[in-house]
Amino acid sequence: MMEGLAVAAGKVAFSLFVLLNFVMLLTWAERKQSALMQDRIGANRASIFGFTWLGLFHPLADALKMVSKEDFVPAGANRGLHAVAPFVALFFALISFAAIPFGDQLWIGRHPVNLQVIDLNIGLLYVFAAMSMGVYGFVLAGWASNNNFSLLGGLRAASQMISYEITIGAAVIGLVMVFGTINLQTIVHRQGELLLGFLPAWGVFYQPLGFLLFVTAAMAETKRAPFDLPEGESEIIGYFLEYSGIKFGMFLMTDFVETVVVAGLVATLFFGGWQFPYLYRDGFHLPGGGILVLSQQVVCVIQVLTFLSKLAFFCWLSLLVRWTFPRFRYDQLIRLGWQMMLPLSILNVVVTGGVLLLLHR
């Protein structure tokens, strides 16, 4: 009993440590990566005792600034809901990471430890449900601020997220049909096999169209450019207009948390999660035959590191997209969601079903 609790606490701590550190590093990476993409240098002035370390202290300075700023609540706002909204948004973004597996079973002595915070049979549905609940935070923020611009921002957030949630759900149905399960750990296990003898059986090779649709819709779900119409900080004014200080910071953090969650989800569903190609429980199975034997613990460490690198890569890709493309107009956004991506994802389901029927006849 106590052991089980300790293991669970350790997994939660590791998961949150990874998630929150990724979020903090993303605020740094966003500045530095955009700077490199635009031939600039990026934030590099925050220093502790003269050390700047490539601007790595800027997230710290940001946090200090956010915490020490005035927490402003507009007159006529619903004080309770105004305070609750950022917590709702951040909470659901944070817990959605829990179902994503970050490694295979680790054997400590004779006890297997599943490297996943919650091993749910309905893991995929859980992640989607938690991410959809997040929209309540944004709508609440828009409504409780007693400001029409905030309310419009909240409504934009709601309609955008509902539109794209449907595409997200429809885009992974094909994948679920291929793997026959919505348990995320099992999905990752199934991706450890080989296609045609050499290709890792990653979801992206089964479902290239589903991958494109899922990534696009998931980026819309994170509410970052080119889909940042709910926020649009400087021009169209989003739902967090009336927020300041750390509450505003929590909304910003929510975006980054969602970016990491989406990156983890893309890695898990379409790029084999923690699977390293040709690495099995007993070591590397080289394609030409022959086994490089590794101990189980070493294999586990390699798998966790593989998952983290995939996570970092997809965060990088998300930032690359965010700093490359201009924002959609709102009618373009809705038309893209309903008239292009939804029919395509349904087509994807139909074609996948037909191919599966032919193969298994």
Partner 1 sequence: MEEIVKVPKQAEKGSGLTFWQRTYVPEIVRGLKLTAAHFFGNLAVHIFHLLGLWTEHRGAATVQYPEEMRGYSSRLRSLHRLTKRADGSPRCVACMMCETICPASCIYIVAAEHPDPNIEKYPESFDIDLGKCVFCGFCVEVCPEDAIRMDTHILDFAAYSREEMIWDIHRLLNNEPRRAEGIGQIRKMK
Q: Which residues bind partner 1 (CB under 8 A)?
A: 33, 35-41, 212, 320-321, 323-325
**Would you mind telling me the total number of residues written for the chain in this entry?**
361
Whole-number minimum distance, CB 53 to partner 1, in Å? 12
Asked if 155 and 191 touch (Cβ cutoff 8 Å), the reply is no
For partner 1, the closer of residues 21 and 324 by Cβ is 324
The first and second tokens of residue 360, run together, are 């298994």
- For residues 96 and 88, what is the distance between their CA atoms, to the nearest angstrom? 12
For partner 1, the closer of residues 41 and 350 by Cβ is 41
| DSSP at 55 | G
Whole-number minimum distance, CB 339 to partner 1, in Å? 12
- For residues 334 and 99, what is the distance between their CA atoms, to the nearest angstrom? 30
For partner 1, the closer of residues 52 and 244 by Cβ is 52
Asked if 123 and 185 touch (Cβ cutoff 8 Å), the reply is yes
DSSP one-letter string for 290-359: -EEE--HHHHHHHHHHHHHHHHHHHHHHHHHHHTTSPPPPHHHHHHIIIIIIHHHHHHHHHHHHHHHHHH
Whole-number minimum distance, CB 145 to partner 1, in Å? 35
For partner 1, the closer of residues 26 and 131 by Cβ is 26
Whole-number minimum distance, CB 258 to partner 1, in Å? 21
For partner 1, the closer of residues 154 and 337 by Cβ is 337
Whole-number minimum distance, CB 36 to partner 1, in Å? 4
